[in-house]
């Protein structure tokens, strides 16, 4: 078969069956992460448009996806982040992608569907939501219709076209030291990434800076603190009364016995 006929057949197959074509053969410009070493490991240099990509929620995944959103904004595009677990506070999100704080998984999935179908966002990140098979298919259709890249932070995604797993390399932190020479604050960390897709398997190593925040807890009502505890219906914002009693009880056991009062 001549080269021209082969190219024509390949273009026809990609038009009729876009999901069956390897990502490495696509010509559309993907959503870059802004991290050169990772972009070289991703098919065509970024997250594929019109597809669902899965990123495992391990060390460094939030920083990588935040960098990808920022790269899209720098290039003049729009990006959105749907915080299904309510672990991100506005104090640390004064700039960057559109931050959506839904009330429950249903609203999170609906928001992702709406943003993807609008076609106005180059990348949409959905974090803190467990997707069922029907939800995944719904969002895949929305991404294909709107043409944006959908990245889900989850351990499993049955219909993901690309899977990214990141881990922190052992003893890879670099530290700022105090006047006595002891490690005081992390400066940066070395990450290992593995990318898997149809017809694609690559690895990358890169370094990301570590940012420290003095304010660790959320000051906004209705949001979880930085440790990821969500507020369930019927539960107070300060925590479960049973757990508070348990803490008080444990503390009281450690107190010395009260001396008897004199008559």
**CATH value at residue 203:** 3.40.50.300
Lowest mean pLDDT among 26-40, 73-87, 114-128, 215-229: 215-229
Asked if the structure places residue 22 within a domain, the reply is no
Tell me: the pLDDT tens digits for 196-223? 998 899 999 999 888 765 544 445 555 5
Number of compact structural domains in the chain: 1
| pLDDT at residue 176, as a whole number | 84
Asked if the structure places residue 124 within a domain, the reply is yes
Q: What is the dihedral of CA 53, 59, 64, 67, to 10 degrees?
A: 140
Q: Are 90 and 99 in contact (CB under 8 A)?
A: yes
| pLDDT at residue 186, as a whole number | 84
Mean pLDDT value across residues 48-56? 94
Asked if the structure places residue 193 within a domain, the reply is yes
Asked if the structure places residue 73 within a domain, the reply is yes
| pLDDT at residue 251, as a whole number | 33
Model pTM?
A: 0.71
Integer angstrom CA distances of residue 149 from 57, 59, 70, 182, 228: 18, 22, 14, 43, 26
Give the largest Cα separation in the chain, rounded.
110
Asked if the structure places residue 186 within a domain, the reply is yes
Is the pLDDT at 46 greater than 50? The verdict is: yes
> In this predicted model, which residue has the larger pLDDT, 130 or 116?
116
Q: By residue range, what is the domain housing residue 70?
A: 35-222
Asked if the structure places residue 16 within a domain, the reply is no
Lowest mean pLDDT among 50-64, 176-190, 201-215: 201-215
Cα 144 versus chain centre, distance: 20
Asked if the structure places residue 103 within a domain, the reply is yes
> In this predicted model, which residue has the larger pLDDT, 170 or 61?
61
pLDDT band at 122 (very low <50, low <70, confident <90, very high): very high
Asked if the structure places residue 115 within a domain, the reply is yes
| pLDDT at residue 222, as a whole number | 53
Spell out the SS3 assignment of 72-101.
Answer: HHHCCCCEEEEECCCCCCHHHCCCCCEEEC
Is the pLDDT at 234 greater than 60? The verdict is: no
């Amino acid at each position: 078969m001549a080269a021209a006929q082969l190219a024509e057949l390949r273009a026809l197959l990609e038009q009729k069956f876009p999901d069956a074509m390897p990502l490495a053969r696509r010509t559309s410009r993907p959503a870059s992460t802004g991290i050169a070493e990772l972009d070289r490991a991703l098919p065509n240099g970024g997250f594929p448009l019109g597809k669902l990509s899965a990123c495992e929620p391990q060390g460094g995944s939030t920083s990588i996806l935040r960098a990808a959103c920022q790269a899209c904004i720098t290039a003049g595009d729009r990006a959105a982040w749907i915080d299904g677990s309510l672990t991100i506070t506005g104090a640390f999100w004064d700039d960057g992608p559109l931050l959506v704080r839904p009330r429950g998984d249903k609203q999170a999935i609906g928001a992702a569907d709406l943003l993807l179908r609008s076609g106005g966002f180059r990348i949409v990140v959905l974090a803190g939501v467990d997707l069922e098979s029907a939800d995944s298919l719904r969002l895949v259709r929305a991404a294909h219709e709107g043409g944006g890249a959908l990245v889900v932070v989850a351990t499993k995604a049955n219909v993901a076209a690309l899977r990214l797993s990141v881990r922190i390399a052992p003893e890879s932190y670099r530290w700022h030291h105090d006047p006595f020479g002891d490690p005081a604050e992390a400066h940066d960390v070395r990450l290992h990434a593995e990318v898997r897709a149809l017809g694609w398997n690559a690895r990358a190593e890169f370094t990301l800076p570590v940012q420290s925040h003095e304010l660790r807890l959320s000051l906004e009502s209705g949001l979880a603190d930085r440790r990821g505890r969500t507020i369930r219906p019927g539960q107070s914002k300060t925590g479960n009364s049973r757990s508070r009693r348990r803490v008080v009880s444990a503390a009281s056991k450690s107190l010395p016995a009260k001396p008897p009062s004199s008559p």
